[in-house]
């Protein structure tokens, strides 16, 4: 089909072009409708691309008809498709639910600009995923970062401003490091196209600049991906952002940077550098383990609901990195499937938080008493997504945890220690999720509002839907698993 061939480009172009158009949609509600429609179209494109990939195709698109090493190319393989589904899906679901919450948090006349920034952020993230050359990844990274600064600072919470300033600083450092690394590689190979880069690196004799480049790129992307201990920008940014922005960004923003990190490392450095697999494992594994344990421990003692979940996100990023650091197919497919499952669980949790925030101004756990009586459906959805985050069987989260433990067992003599760490951190997740559950269900009600008031139906239905998806993909995980498995074998072949 002819249109199919253009879909990789349209995936980026649709949200990008809709951004300026949305600014023009001043009348009440239209901006939201435009943004949602655009996100849904993007999601449909992502689904179509995924179906094509599942058929066994890898789609390549040369922008403007210029062939590969010279022109800009986009490519879509299994891992790309998985990420596209996550980014566009998270954006579409968040926007579908967003209207009541955004109406409450953002003045009407600023809304078109806000939604337009949302579209830019989304097109940037999508662009990072599909771009097949290192420089365009940087360009899209800047687009998405600048737009998400606006999104995070766009709410009524003034504390978002220092948070975003911190994010801006660290994000810029990360992007600069990345750019320095790419520059070094360009110096050595004369190309920016990633496939070409890999091929030409084989001929490079002086390997030291490439090694330095690998260091810069890995650290830069780890900053963007909030890998422990470079995560300090995350808690405040997630906590003070408008609630729906948190849903969107928590589900996909850091994962995209992690995606680039894993892809760059496996596809380029591991193939070109001797012993780099070992270097990567020794760099990533301790950070992943520390991240999992420290962030989970912080979450266990955190009192603010959103900040607690943000800490948990850092731990979950650790899981994804841990899987990748095993340097095995099993580990990679555990990582890839956790990308998807964590997006589902954490997206659902933050949606439920948005529902709660609609009625409760103060999101500290001590202020949430009696919520289960006032908002039974929201709380039920929260519990389901929380179970998925813990990794209880029958939910999506269990699938990736099973894969991860299996991969850890196969990873050599230290496998059992790794399994123990994963299990201990699961138990820590039980603790921090259950603290919330007890607050919602058993704490005596606070004075604030004795009325029974659920969140608006629109918000509630989508939240419930995501909760059901968490169960559905726990019982029928075939499609995401197939994507994750072929993504893993792609990366693995790339590394050889």
Task: State the nearest-atom distance from the C-beta of 403 to other proteins, in Å.
Answer: 8
Among 121-129, 222-230, 436-444, 456-464, the segment contacting other proteins (CB under 8 A): 436-444
CA angle 142, 313, 266 (to 5 degrees): 60
Query: In the complex with other proteins, which residue's Cβ is closer, 409 or 453?
Result: 409
Residue pair 397/391 in contact (Cβ under 8 Å)? The answer is yes
What is the DSSP-derived secondary structure letter of residue 366? Answer: G
Asked if 419 is part of the footprint of other proteins (rule: CB under 8 A), the reply reads yes
Q: Tell me how far the alpha carbon of residue 176 is from its chain's centroid.
A: 21
Asked if 402 is part of the footprint of other proteins (rule: CB under 8 A), the reply reads yes
Asked if 438 is part of the footprint of other proteins (rule: CB under 8 A), the reply reads yes
Asked if 41 is part of the footprint of other proteins (rule: CB under 8 A), the reply reads no
Task: State the nearest-atom distance from the C-beta of 241 to other proteins, in Å.
Answer: 32
Query: In the complex with other proteins, which residue's Cβ is closer, 235 or 474?
Result: 474
Pick one of 434, 452, 453, 468: the residue that binds other proteins (CB under 8 A). Answer: 434
φ/ψ (deg, to 5) at 311: -60, -40
Q: Please report, to the nearest 10 degrees, the dihedral formed by the alpha carbons of residues 269, 343, 35, 48 taken in order.
A: 70
Nearest-CA neighbor of 459 among 313, 359, 336?
Answer: 359
Task: State the nearest-atom distance from the C-beta of 309 to other proteins, in Å.
Answer: 20
Task: State the nearest-atom distance from the C-beta of 374 to other proteins, in Å.
Answer: 15
Query: In the complex with other proteins, which residue's Cβ is closer, 116 or 337?
Result: 337
Query: In the complex with other proteins, which residue's Cβ is closer, 150 or 419?
Result: 419
Among 88-96, 156-164, 419-427, 459-467, the segment contacting other proteins (CB under 8 A): 419-427
Query: In the complex with other proteins, which residue's Cβ is closer, 157 or 482?
Result: 482
Pick one of 185, 379, 399, 462: the residue that binds other proteins (CB under 8 A). Answer: 399
How many angstroms separate the CA atoms of 116 and 127, rounded? Answer: 16
Q: Which long-range contacts (CB under 8 A, 24 or more apart) does 58-67 make?
A: 59/4, 59/5, 59/7, 59/8, 60/8, 60/132, 61/5, 61/6, 61/8, 61/9, 63/9
Which token pair is 75? 């490519």
CB-facing half-sphere around the CA of 202: CA atoms within 13 A: 10
Residue with tokens 């979950």: 316
Asked if 309 is part of the footprint of other proteins (rule: CB under 8 A), the reply reads no
Q: H or E element: which one contains 26?
A: none
Residue pair 186/210 in contact (Cβ under 8 Å)? The answer is no
Task: State the nearest-atom distance from the C-beta of 442 to other proteins, in Å.
Answer: 5
Query: In the complex with other proteins, which residue's Cβ is closer, 186 or 441?
Result: 441
How many angstroms separate the CA atoms of 477 and 471, rounded? Answer: 10
Query: In the complex with other proteins, which residue's Cβ is closer, 267 or 399?
Result: 399
Query: In the complex with other proteins, which residue's Cβ is closer, 156 or 393?
Result: 393
Among 210-218, 232-240, 284-292, 405-413, the segment contacting other proteins (CB under 8 A): 405-413
- Residues numbered 375-394 forming contacts with other proteins, rule: CB under 8 A: 387, 391-394
CA angle 222, 117, 217 (to 5 degrees): 20
Query: In the complex with other proteins, which residue's Cβ is closer, 171 or 477?
Result: 477
Task: State the nearest-atom distance from the C-beta of 367 to other proteins, in Å.
Answer: 18
Which token pair is 260? 């680039």
Query: In the complex with other proteins, which residue's Cβ is closer, 7 or 349?
Result: 349
How many angstroms separate the CA atoms of 302 and 432, rounded? Answer: 8
Task: State the nearest-atom distance from the C-beta of 429 to other proteins, in Å.
Answer: 9
Residue pair 95/36 in contact (Cβ under 8 Å)? The answer is yes
Asked if 458 is part of the footprint of other proteins (rule: CB under 8 A), the reply reads no
- Residues numbered 76-105 forming contacts with other proteins, rule: CB under 8 A: none
Asked if 405 is part of the footprint of other proteins (rule: CB under 8 A), the reply reads yes
Please provide the distance, in angstroms rounded to a whole number, between the alpha carbons at the two ends of the chain. 33
Q: Which residues contact 477 (CB under 8 A, 6 or more apart)?
A: 337, 396, 399
Q: H or E element: which one contains 61?
A: strand 59-62
Which token pair is 247? 């849903």
Which token pair is 136? 């365009």
Query: In the complex with other proteins, which residue's Cβ is closer, 394 or 456?
Result: 394
Query: In the complex with other proteins, which residue's Cβ is closer, 136 or 395?
Result: 395
Which token pair is 66? 């210029």
Site string for other proteins, 461-480 (x = CB under 8 A): --------------xxxx--
Task: State the nearest-atom distance from the C-beta of 393 to other proteins, in Å.
Answer: 4
Among 218-226, 297-305, 354-362, 416-424, the segment contacting other proteins (CB under 8 A): 416-424
Sign of the C-alpha dihedral computed for residues 218, 177, 128 and 142 taken in this order: positive
Pick one of 442, 452, 457, 493: the residue that binds other proteins (CB under 8 A). Answer: 442
Residues forming contacts to other proteins in the complex (CB under 8 A) are 387, 391-394, 399, 402-403, 405-406, 409-410, 419, 423-424, 426-427, 430, 434, 438, 441-442, 475-478, 481
């Amino acid at each position: 089909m002819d249109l199919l061939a253009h879909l990789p480009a349209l995936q980026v172009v649709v949200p990008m072009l809709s951004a300026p158009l949305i600014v023009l949609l001043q009348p009440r509600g239209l901006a939201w409708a435009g943004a949602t429609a655009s996100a849904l179209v993007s999601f449909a494109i992502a689904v179509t691309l995924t179906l094509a990939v599942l058929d066994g195709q890898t789609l390549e698109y040369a922008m403007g008809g210029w062939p590969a090493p010279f022109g800009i190319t986009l490519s879509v393989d299994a891992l790309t498709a998985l990420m596209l589904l996550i980014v566009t899906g998270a954006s579409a679901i968040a926007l579908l639910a967003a209207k009541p919450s955004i109406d409450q948090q953002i003045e009407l006349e600023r809304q078109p600009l806000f939604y337009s920034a949302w579209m830019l952020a989304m097109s940037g993230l999508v662009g990072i995923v599909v771009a097949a050359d290192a420089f365009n990844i940087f360009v899209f990274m800047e687009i998405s970062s600048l737009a998400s600064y606006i999104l995070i600072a766009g709410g009524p919470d003034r504390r978002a401003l220092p948070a975003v300033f911190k994010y801006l600083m660290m994000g810029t450092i990360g992007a600069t490091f990345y750019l320095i690394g790419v520059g070094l590689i360009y110096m050595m190979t004369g190309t920016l196209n990633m496939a070409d880069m890999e091929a030409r690196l084989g001929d490079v004799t002086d390997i030291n600049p490439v090694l330095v480049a690998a260091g810069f790129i890995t650290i830069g992307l780890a900053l963007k991906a909030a890998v422990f201990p470079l995560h300090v920008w995350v808690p405040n940014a997630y906590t003070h952002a408008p609630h729906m922005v948190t849903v969107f960004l928590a589900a996909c923003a850091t994962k995209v940077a992690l995606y680039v990190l894993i892809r760059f490392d496996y596809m380029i450095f591991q193939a070109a550098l001797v012993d780099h697999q070992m270097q990567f494992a020794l760099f990533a594994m301790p950070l992943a383990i520390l991240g999992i344990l420290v962030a989970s421990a912080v979450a266990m003692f955190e009192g603010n609901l959103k900040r607690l979940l943000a800490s948990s996100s850092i731990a979950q990023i650790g899981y994804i990195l841990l899987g990748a650091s095993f340097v095995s197919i099993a580990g990679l497919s555990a990582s890839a499937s956790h990308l998807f499952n964590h997006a589902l669980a954490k997206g659902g949790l933050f949606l439920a938080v948005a529902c709660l925030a609609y009625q409760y101004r103060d999101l500290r756990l001590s202020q949430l008493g009696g919520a289960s009586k006032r908002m039974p459906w929201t709380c039920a959805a929260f519990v389901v997504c929380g179970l998925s985050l813990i990794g209880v069987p029958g939910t999506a989260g269990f699938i990736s945890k099973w894969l991860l433990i299996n991969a850890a067992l196969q990873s050599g003599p230290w496998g059992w220690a790794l399994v123990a760490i994963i299990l201990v951190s699961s138990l820590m997740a039980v603790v921090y999720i259950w603290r919330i559950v007890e607050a919602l269900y058993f704490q005596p009600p606070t004075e604030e509002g004795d009325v029974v008031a659920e969140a608006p139906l629109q918000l509630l239905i989508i939240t419930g839907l995501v909760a059901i998806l968490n169960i559905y993909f726990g019982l029928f995980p075939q499609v995401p698993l197939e994507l994750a498995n072929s993504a893993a074998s792609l990366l693995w072949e790339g590394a050889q």
